[in-house]
Structure 1
């Protein structure tokens, strides 16, 4: 695992100086990393499928959130040749307290990246692909046009692949959301990450109700696009706060909710306040379904893109069943 004080010695594409992985996080006090309970431990990835996926990612000069965020499901997903591509570089303009992605001044966008992603999707034979990105507050449109170009490249090179995007909040980027929605991804995902009372300490660069409004606006622009959001638990949130968050998402007509356990990447990141039990996750899932979500995934190892392809098929089936019930 890379620590906050580890440096990256090679210069990034397009130049740039040697950088510290999380310069904004260096001055945070160390916090103890709690021992994980048995229900959340996973084996290190070693399978042939995992190694083949890693090679494809490397050959196409791509970045994946699976690696950058230290996802515990990387072995399982890469073994099946499922990967979540992270576009617009590996340096984020924000320094969220939970995130292990590098913070700093990003490099220029790579004009070859959309084509590289499209070719990788075709080579991997993906039925469903998830595209996410770092925050790019330095760009006039927050990277919206780059998302569009990646979507278009996938549609050209792998026309049978359904596309799920996991976007930043495009805060103070007028017209950016509309541009991305016009490209018509199959699923538009934007994570709330945590309850509003935690935003100042966990997600200080974001605004809770802006994110809610972003998701609501997607449905207003194109009701056929599935919307999705996710949160982490174990950050000190109260149950009633999670239930209110569910209501806020349903008021925005969000279709799919994911809930997973927060895992602390390093001692400089936000501490895990508690490990939520599998029974508590099941209770959240039951409650969320009762509030009207078409799909809910809630478990300790749930992540936004985990089982995304299978979940998309179930999501589409759930919408069709609901429509049939309403017309019966």
Structure 2
């Protein structure tokens, strides 16, 4: 067994603030990926009054062996009240930036795109000043469903590549590396004003060259933002960690990503897809999408 290094230890959270956030979530009957996926940053993020909301769950239709979200329960019908409850939570928590993600809902004809659409509109109504990031599944390559989400005009569309192409069959057996890249490419074509984002895990057996290859593939898809973090095994039944990557290597990947054109690379052992996502507001001020487009054409 690989021993967890010192740099992966996290500070104990201030549970008073965490409890306040949890009270809002329980009162409104909402799920967060922070809790469902056993995120190591839950204390820090809840203390800051931020959360990544998990809609259409908590049951998932896929069984990715790295993920702690439940796939054994049967997915339930969509809840028509969920968007309004989500909007109310954002209002109560006074969020400047919110991340909305979902389980995979391959049982639905549009993969849940219509529920993302309703949630985005509900947040805009309840909290007009909040910027919205959606972290979406691959929608089984239903590009009409992708267009439904983009027509709701999120500020950021995030879809995680998760790992290198060579490991896809083992890590994401129901996913497809090319399909994930195509989703990001189509997002740029359909909604050039939306910032695109992706994330990968390290420590599953990838090499430095393979990580850089993913980074180049994402830049070919004109992806703006990249997150890279250490994979941590949620339980003994999940994929084992093959290596704990040093902070220095994460720094090197960040520098390399910035050198090939990403607007932002967040890379550290504890980085997760939504970790410090609120920093995107500063990014949007620094690199307005209209200016980015004018610089390219």
TM-score, length basis structure 2: 0.96
The answer to whether the aligner puts 1:152 opposite 2:126 as a matched pair is no
Instruction: Indicate the structure (1 or 2) with the bigger Cα radius of gyration.
Output: 1
| Distance in 1 between residues matched to 2:77 and 2:226, nearest whole Å | 33
Question: SS at 1:91's partner residue?
Answer: coil
Partner of 2:60: 92
Residue 50 of structure 1 corresponds to which residue in structure 2? 18
Shift in alpha-carbon separation, 1:310–1:270, aligned structure 2, 3 A = same
Contact in 2 for aligned 1:295/1:315 (Cα 8 Å): no
Gaps spanning 5+ residues in structure 2: where? none
Q: Is 1:272 matched up with 2:241?
A: yes
1:292 maps to 261
The number of equivalent residue pairs is 295
What secondary structure, in the 3-state scheme, does the structure 2 residue paired with 1:188 have?
strand
C-alpha separation between the residues in 1 aligned to 2:292 and 2:121?
29
TM-superposed CA distance for 1:172, in Å, is: 4.2
Deviation at 1:323, TM superposition (A): 4.6
Matched, 1:83 2:51: yes
Looking at structure 1, the residues matched to 163 and 284 of structure 2 have their Cα atoms a distance apart, in angstroms, of 23
For residues 283 and 315 of structure 1, do their structure 2 counterparts lie closer, same or farther at Cα, with a shift above 3 Å needed?
farther
Cα deviation, residue 152, structure 1:
0.4
CA distance in 2, matches of 1:320, 1:89: 32
Which of the pair is proportionally richer in helix?
2
Shift of 1:181: 0.7
User: Does residue 117 of the first structure (1) align with residue 86 of the second (2)?
Assistant: yes
SS in 2 for 1:272: coil
Which residue of 2 is the match for residue 68 of structure 1? Answer: 36
Aligned to 2:9: 41
Q: 5 Å matches for 1:1-328?
A: 32=1, 34-104=2-72, 105-319=74-288, 323=292, 326=295
User: 4+ runs of 1 displaced by more than 6 Å?
Assistant: none
Q: Provide the secondary structure at the position in 1 that maps to 2:139.
A: coil
For structure 1, the 5+ residue unaligned runs are: 1-31
Superposition TM-score, scaled by structure 1 size: 0.87
Match of 1:28 in 2: none
Between the aligned partners of 1:218 and 1:228, the Cα distance in structure 2 is 10
